[in-house]
Amino acid sequence: MKVYGPAVRPAPLSLRVLGLCAALGPVGCGARVVLILYDAGPRDASADAAVDAPSAPVDVAAAVDAGFDAGFDAGFDVPVIPIDLGPPCPEGTACDPGVVCRTGTNRCVGGVARCVANDNAAFGTRCPAGTCDGRGTCVAPSQRSCPSASETGCGIVNLLGGPLALGDTGAFRASPVQRMITVSAFAIDASEVTVARFRRFWDAGHPAPPTRIAYPGAVVTWAGAVAEPGVGGACNWGAAGRDYHPVNCVDHPTAQAFCAWDGGRLPTEAEWEFAARFTLAAGLNAGRSYPWGEAAPAAGCDRAQWARCPGDDGGATRRVAQFANTAGMFDLAGNVWEWTVDAFATYSDATCWGGRAQLDPYCPRGASGYPAIRGGSWISDSVTLLRGASRDDAYMPATRSAILGLRCVRARAVVGG
């Protein structure tokens, strides 16, 4: 028996194999399924032979590695079981109906990133990032601050975008709910920006960004100056041993300048909330309360760094990516609040919100004049602040606080071909 996909224990069932599309109906890239390959012995002459799924667990990691090296055996029937699989394919990925790529299971074949499940033995070059240069070679994630995609704090998650209900009556300052919001496809940093990544920006001369920064639904004016992060106290900048902690004590103009230099921009509130609450993965529903689901975090910091739990390396924060990921993203709750580009306005403010349908909304001004921040921090003492819809405007743009950091977004990776 060979199995390709996450560890699952499916109930016994039988699927008539009439091709992948027939098994699941008209679904395609982004539908998120797991492909399971069963050894049914010699292939029956009839393509309609039924295959019963086993109920025993399997060593998936070994099977996946074997599959990458040897390819799929052509003589097996292939049932497809619908299971949420995580981040969808990058744009341009070749997917047959009913089969979906996930990060880490793509190959460059010619100039196109293809689903491994589609390729049989013709694999080409393994491409974890799912982006090709047009000649069959993988392209590293487009983060200028990351010399290696394997460095802690590096990595990008491609999101398809889509509709969302912005806000939650159980969250902080997040009602009334805005139910007709849509965001376009975008890519987001898997982790909060680390000290190591920010240092490369600083050492490169920390240039100011363009004064006009393009967003999907607006052009945002950048104003201010680039300032070195604060030091001392709970600031991680300048503290020994904290290269892989989130950089904090960074003001809003500098956060935007870093993101522009890195190849992106600060997220809008809608993009940030889409990532935290509406990105689907195994066990995650759209509109969930917390990035990981419905269960509140424990005071012992089982899911996030909050409530003044002990930090790492003498700091108040923890190294990024220490908790379980949410569809490939880390620390969307706790560690540090994250700057967004929007000015904070209540959802009853008709100037920016007001309950109307919007595509890629951006709020240029609010009553306080302060930017919206998201995600809660290591000092947050209420689980409400860690909910995926919670938001605040506690800090003016020039603030360099130990509970404030950043995460960048950017245009979706385009696959050459």
What does the pLDDT look like over 240-276, one tens digit per residue?
999 999 999 999 999 999 999 999 999 999 999 999 9
Contacts of 222 (CB under 8 A, 6+ apart): 208, 209, 210, 211, 212, 213, 253, 256, 257, 260
Give residue 115's pLDDT.
Answer: 62
Residue of 293, 308, 277 whose CA lies nearest to 174: 277
CATH code: domain 142-417 is 3.90.1580.10
Q: Which long-range contacts (CB under 8 A, 24 or more apart) does 61-70 make?
A: 63/2, 63/3, 63/4, 64/4, 64/5, 64/105, 66/2, 67/2, 67/4, 67/37, 67/116, 68/116, 68/123, 68/126
Residue stretches of the chain with pLDDT short of 50: 1-89, 91, 96-99, 102-104, 119-122, 129, 414-417
| Residue-level pLDDT at 140 | 54
What is the predicted pLDDT for the residue at 134? 56
CA distance 337 to 209: 22
pLDDT of residue 78: 34
d(CA 152, CA 251): 23
Classified as helix, coil or strand, 88 is coil
Residue 19, Ramachandran bin (φ over 0: left; ψ between -120 and 50: alpha; else beta): left
Phi and psi at 258, nearest 5°, equal -60, -50
Query: How much is the pTM?
Result: 0.70
Give the model's pLDDT for residue 44: 36
